[in-house]
């Protein structure tokens, strides 16, 4: 299994974006989000941790390019856009696209349309 979930959490530990690629009940999600720090520390043998780190960088850079120095409020108030970006980058736990231009083009297209 590749990426199992993507969570954006602020410094107070409040979830600001959640996308799961495997099924978890609401209670399980709550529990997971509650102890996410511990989960982060329990690193998995099968993964290339450095690649995941790089992917997180890429996600943040993509959001930066779109919002211009992205902050918590950008994500809160444009949750759906962040979801659209994520959709272009990861699908079912696998990476789809790594070019920021390719990721953002459908979103810019939508903005123009509306």
Partner 1 sequence: MNPFSSGTRLRDMIRSIRACKTAAEERAVVRKECAAIRAAISENDQDYRHRNLAKLMFIHMLGYPTHFGQMECLKLIAASGFPEKRIGYLGLMLLLDERQEVLMLVTNSLKQDLNHSNQYIVGLALCALGNICSAEMARDLAPEVERLLNSRDPNIKKKAALCSIRIIRKVPDLSENFMYPAASLLKEKHHGVLISGVQLCIELCKASKDSLDHIRRNCTDVLVRILKDVSNSSYAPEYDIAGITDPFLHIRVLRILRILGQGDADSSETMNDILAQVATKTESNKNAGNAILYECVETIMGIEATSGLRVLAINILGRFLSNRDNNIRYVALNILMRAISVDTQAVQRHRTTILECVKDTDASIRKRALELVFLLVNDTNAKHLIKELVDYLQVSDPDFKEDLTAKICLIVEKFSQDKLWYLDQMFKVLSLAGNFVKDDVWHALIVAISNAPDLQGYSVRLLYSALQASLEQESLVRVAVWCIGEYGEMLVNNVGFLDSEEPITVTESDAIDLVELALKRHTTDTTTRAMCLVSLLKLSSRFPPTSERVKGIVTQHKGNVELELQQRSIEFASIIQRHTGIKSTLLERMPVLDEASYLSKRAGSTEKTASGDPKSTASGDSKITSSVKVPNGVAKPPTTAAIPNLIDFSIDDAPVPPTSTTASEPPNFMMDLIDINLPSSPPSGGEPAPVINRNIIDDLLSIGTSPVENGLPASSSFPTIAKSTVPETKPAPVSDLLDGLSLSLDSSSSPSREEEHKSITAFQSGNLKITFSFRKQPEKLQATLIHATFTNLSSNAYTNFIFQAAVPKFIQLHLDPASSNTLPANGNGTITQSLTLTNTQHGQKPLAMRIRMSYKVNNEEKLEQGQAENKERKTFSLSIAFSSDSHSVERELFAVASHFLLSSSFELVPRFYKP
Among 13, 35, 40, 51, binds partner 1 (CB under 8 A): 51
Q: Hunting for tokens 């079912």 — which residue is that?
A: 92
Does residue 48 touch partner 1 according to CB under 8 A? yes
Nearest approach, Cβ of residue 101 and partner 1 (Å): 6
**What is the C-alpha to C-alpha distance for residues 52 and 45, in angstroms, rounded to an integer?**
13
Residues that bind partner 1 (CB under 8 A): 2, 15-19, 21, 23, 26, 29-30, 33, 41, 43, 45, 48-51, 53-55, 57-58, 76-77, 79-81, 83-84, 87, 91-92, 94-99, 101-102, 106, 109-111, 113-114
């Amino acid at each position: 299994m590749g990426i199992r979930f993507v969570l954006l959490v602020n410094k107070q530990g409040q979830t600001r974006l959640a996308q799961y690629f495997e099924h978890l009940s609401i209670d399980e999600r709550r529990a997971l989000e509650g102890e996410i720090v511990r989960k982060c520390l329990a690193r998995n043998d099968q993964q290339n941790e450095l690649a995941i780190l790089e992917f997180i960088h890429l996600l943040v850079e993509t959001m930066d390019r779109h919002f211009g120095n992205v902050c918590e409020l950008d994500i809160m108030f444009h949750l759906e856009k962040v979801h659209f970006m994520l959709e272009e980058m990861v699908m079912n736990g696998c990476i789809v696209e790594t070019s920021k231009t390719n990721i953002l083009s459908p979103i810019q297209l939508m903005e123009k349309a509306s």
